[in-house]
Structure 1
């Protein structure tokens, strides 16, 4: 959605290094064919705890959200267990954490799945899902908050999103987001950690500009900016 590029520009400027991008679909082989192939030196936006990379400290925490039309009777739903979702047509990116909760709550029979692994240069399942929502083809959409944020903002008030903070069973709905570097590159990791620490306010400002839902480190409440 662009905010990773803004953060990359900020860091490149402070490091005094040229900024170059390597593009590859977020699919099987992503890390192996980019970071491990030395086609890039850092992946901006990587979930904490992933064993394929060496994670920096996290620079934001966010969660999956439910998106509805503003005038919908579902606009105040804040949990996948809400009984009002029964019998509704719900959009879901296949294989993402909300899908497991939907199965648990018996919401899959009417669900409309959208592809997870795609080449986003040519197709955006999240944009298609929200278009279907606005067109009335689905009643609500479950999405990763940082992707939903700017799309909901661009709807000019037609859509609203609510972070899913009340799910108590696994899988969790919030994630701490880091930068990923190659295993063993500890010095590079520490340099990025230093930049994250020194520029946290600027990073928060960029994320807020793109309407990313920011949470506290435990993923339980909205983040108070300045923390």
Structure 2
């Protein structure tokens, strides 16, 4: 074999060897980090209407939907959504995806967002507050509103002079024993407060399921910070780009069905910039 041909053959062999080695390493890494046998979901067992151990939450139904598209069963790692949740579930490789996580959180690698929602004002349908669309509305003056302490709407209540009469509910609780959202809606039903300010994916489904006489008003008219709308993604481990891209593709191809699933649950969906409510046909 001529020397020039031998050099070409040797270089080609080295290139092929490196290519196969890198491909093998990538495949091993993916299989080590993401189960090929189940959609392994990290979830709070007592975060209804989002997730629940009896799998009645809308995130449970979304997990079933995603798993069906992947032709896999769902397998849960249950852990309270509190300090240590990411460390003890996703980072410990006990599971591979969190179904609902706010876009931009530094502890996870976010997929593309699959919905955008907003905080809401919830009032009785026959209340004189049923036409309110903003926390700056003068009709709210001297009214007692419920709000979860430390959440963005509390800043709006303070700016509009409503915080003094508001009733605060704890932000960080063990949902197995306390439910601020349910407590707030029960207080509204009892007349102890005039309106409830709740994150839409909590308040909307609870009202649809248990409080049919209430009206859910998405707060899309607020113009001053802090913003009240958030884009929700699925969270995977940092560095797992292949898995992230697979989920991104699944979201993109099935967005209409995902929207219908969320709307059926009662989740208020808004446009990406949080300025308009989306009307979804079930």
Which TM bucket (shorter chain)? over 0.9
Provide Cα deviations, 1:140-191, integer angstroms capped at 9, x if missing partner. Answer: 0000111111211134531001000111111101111100001000000001
Indicate yes or no: 2:166 matched with 1:108: no
Partner of 1:144: 199
Structure 1 gaps, min length 5: none
Distance in 1 separating the partners of 2:76 and 2:242: 22
Partner of 1:9: 64
Indicate yes or no: 2:258 matched with 1:218: no
Q: 1:44 to 1:136 in 2, by over 3 A?
A: same
More displaced, 12-21 or 178-187?
A: 12-21
8 A contact 1:89–1:110 mirrored in 2: yes
Distance in 2 separating the partners of 1:61 and 1:167: 16
Distance in 1 separating the partners of 2:227 and 2:188: 25
Of the three residues 100, 104, 112, the one matched with 1:49 is: 104
Partner of 2:229: 174
Of the three residues 22, 38, 45, the one matched with 2:93 is: 38
8 A contact 1:45–1:177 mirrored in 2: yes
Distance in 1 separating the partners of 2:165 and 2:78: 35
Distance in 1 separating the partners of 2:260 and 2:225: 31
8 A contact 1:26–1:117 mirrored in 2: no
- Greater RCO structure (CA 8 Å; 6+ sep): 1
Which structure is larger by alpha-carbon Rg, 1 or 2?
2
Provide Cα deviations, 1:104-135, integer angstroms capped at 9, x if missing partner. Answer: 11111111111111222222110110010011
**RMSD after superposition:** 1.4
Structure 2 gaps, min length 5: 1-48, 50-56
Report deviation, 1:52: 1.1
Partner of 1:194: 249
Of the three residues 113, 127, 140, the one matched with 2:182 is: 127
Partner of 2:78: 23
More displaced, 114-123 or 39-48?
A: 114-123
Distance in 2 separating the partners of 1:156 and 1:108: 25
Higher helix proportion (structure 1 or 2): 2
Distance in 2 separating the partners of 1:59 and 1:90: 30
**TM-score calculated relative to the size of structure 2:** 0.77
**TM-score calculated relative to the size of structure 1:** 0.95
Distance in 2 separating the partners of 1:12 and 1:170: 38
Report deviation, 1:205: 1.2
Distance in 2 separating the partners of 1:194 and 1:4: 19
